[in-house]
Amino acid sequence: MPSFDITSKANIENIKNAIDVSMRMVNNRYDFKGTSAKLELYEKDMKITLNGDSEFQINQLKDILFPSMEKKEPDSSKRMESKNIESVSGNKSKQDLIIKSGIDIDLAKEIIKTIKESKIKVQSSIQGDELRIVGAKRDVLQECISLVKATHNKFPLNFGNFRD
């Protein structure tokens, strides 16, 4: 039976490249000379830390980072979860951006509910942080993909592993 998977994986190499480009831009900007402004990627924790002298500077770092991330990996700003800006020692500030990877259980249930309400004849199952959709015909699966793309565009989803 034909099937496909719905996943949501962050491409860490593209994120690294975007952070490198952003750091070069920060190092070249006159208003960041002599400040503690920097971006750090922690791959193990899947987070980006923005360090700066003030809350305003943190927001400027985000204004530099997000467009370069969108160029490298579309919809990556939808994948980010911003934590509160913290005041570290004295006049320094920092903010963590958590990179969400995988489909959480609430979104998976919401996608399954949407598919069931549409009365498309497919079976769907949650497998860890991804969904497997199985149908009788390829056309039914393509209809399901277009439905999910149209209704769930708040979080970046990948459709792959299409098998006949």
Tell me the CATH number at 143. Answer: 3.30.70.860
Q: For residue 89, is pLDDT > 80?
A: no
Domain check: are 32 and 49 in the same one?
A: yes
Range of the domain at 124: 3-8+102-163
Tell me the CATH number at 18. Answer: 3.30.70.990
Quote the pTM value. Answer: 0.79
- 43-86 per-position pLDDT tens digit: 888 899 999 988 889 999 999 999 998 888 887 778 888 888 88
Domain check: are 20 and 93 in the same one?
A: yes
Select from 77, 99, 121 the last residue of a domain.
Answer: 99
Q: Which residues make Cβ contacts (< 8 Å) with residue 95, sequence separation at least 6? A: 49, 50, 58, 82, 83, 84, 85, 86
Task: For residue 147, give the DSSP letter.
Answer: H
Domain check: are 32 and 87 in the same one?
A: yes
Q: What is the mean pLDDT of the chain?
A: 89
Task: State how many domains the chain has.
Answer: 2
Domain check: are 89 and 21 in the same one?
A: yes
